[in-house]
Amino acid sequence: MTYSIVARDSATGELGVAVQSHWFSVGSVVVTGLAGVGAIATQASPNLSFKHRGLEMLRDGMTAAEASLALRQDDPAIEHRQFAIVDAHGGAVAFTGSACMGEAGQYSGDGYSCQANMMRNDTVWATMARAFEQTGGSLSARLLAALDAAQGAGGDLRGQQSAAILVVPANGTPADTVVDLRVEDHPTPLVELRRLVTLGGAYRLADDGDDLVARGDFSTAAIRYVAANEIAPDNDELRFWAGLGLISAGVPERGVELLRASIASDASWHELLTRLDPSDVPSSGEALRLLGESDSIR
């Protein structure tokens, strides 16, 4: 009772899967993916073993089509299943069993497949495909566009409840992801999922900043923190680190302004500032001095 898309980005090699359903925690049921291997969606009456077995088949050298055929051959309830696989070479294939509840169907294109069941109408999967093909930008953006298009075309007959997106890199370890987010229970899960993807992008920049600080590259770290704050300007955490970054980058007035805003929201940020070791965060001591001076002027 779900619509989903699996896809490979031909430019980056990233692999992804995204889904929405009127079902609690659909992401924990439907989606899986592995860096450099593939991505899978299993739905309708899902066979959860398809996720790990399918990835193992792909990792052992099978194509998406070969893995799909192998999974179908030993499942006595296969006509109740709907699932899709995309492999690391962009091979994409879907299966919709004859016993899936209508409207149900699929559309596979170059490097992607859209599939849906229990939809309000039979236009959903083709509409998803058009949106994916016509949207530019990152794989995450294109997957989200496909989900939005599905909902706009009528979506799940029962409405909305949960959504998820998983994007993995072209190469990496089983732990590596580009985006891995879920909305478990929400009246407008696609709106919330898009918000989380945006916020997640900001936090990835902040994570880069942390890594750069650990390597002693404070000036580049400052750029990352400021960029993160620009994406999510009302987030106290990102605003705090951006403030310190700006002070480190020689823009103290704006840095103090951001720090003061976070502290005004929650005084715990000032307590954290006093606990920072200047050997780890060189601008922390200067930040305290500047905050003290501005307080005395006031």
| Judgement on whether residues 168 and 231 belong to the same structural domain of the protein | no
Span of 145-154, 212-221, 271-280 with lowest mean pLDDT: 212-221
Last residue of a domain, one of 161, 186, 211: 186
In this structure, the answer to whether residues 157 and 292 fall within a common structural domain is: no
151 and 10, same structural domain?
yes
- pLDDT tens-digit map of 175-201: 999 999 999 999 999 999 999 999 999
pLDDT of residue 296 exceeding 80, the answer is no
Question: What's the chain's Rg over C-alpha atoms?
Answer: 23
Distance separating alpha carbons of residues 85 and 7, to the nearest angstrom: 8
Here the tokens at position 70 are: 């192998």
Q: Does 103 sit behind a cis peptide bond, omega within 30 degrees of 0 on the bond before it?
A: yes
* Residues 227, 149: Cα–Cα separation, whole Å: 30
The pLDDT of 222-248, averaged and rounded, is: 95
Q: Is the dihedral of CA 119, 115, 167, 47 positive or negative?
A: positive
The whole-chain average pLDDT of the chain stands at 95
Length of the chain: 298
Q: Decide if pLDDT at 40 tops 80.
A: yes
- The tens digit of pLDDT for each residue in 67-98 reads 999 999 989 999 999 999 999 999 999 999 99
pLDDT beyond 60 at 111: yes
Structure tokens at 107: 């559309």
**Is residue 191 assigned to a domain?**
no
What CATH number is given to the structural domain containing 91?
Answer: 3.60.20.10
Same domain, 159 and 245: no
pLDDT of residue 295: 58
User: Which percentage of the chain shows pLDDT scores above 70?
Assistant: 98
CATH code, domain carrying 228: 1.25.40.10
pLDDT at 131 over 60: yes
Q: Spell out the residues 6+ positions from residue 216 whose beta carbon is closer than 8 angstroms to its own.
A: none
Q: What is the largest CA-CA distance in the chain?
A: 78
Q: What pLDDT does 298 receive?
A: 45
- Same domain assignment for residues 226 and 104: no
Q: Does the pLDDT value for residue 153 go beyond 50?
A: yes
Q: Is 281's pLDDT higher than 70? A: yes
DSSP 156: B
Q: Are residues 207 and 179 in the same domain?
A: no
* Contact present, 160 and 20 (Cβ < 8 Å): yes
> Could you list the residue range(s) of the whole structural domain that residue 140 is in?
2-186
Do 160 and 236 lie in a common domain?
Answer: no
What percent of the chain is modeled with pLDDT above 90?
91
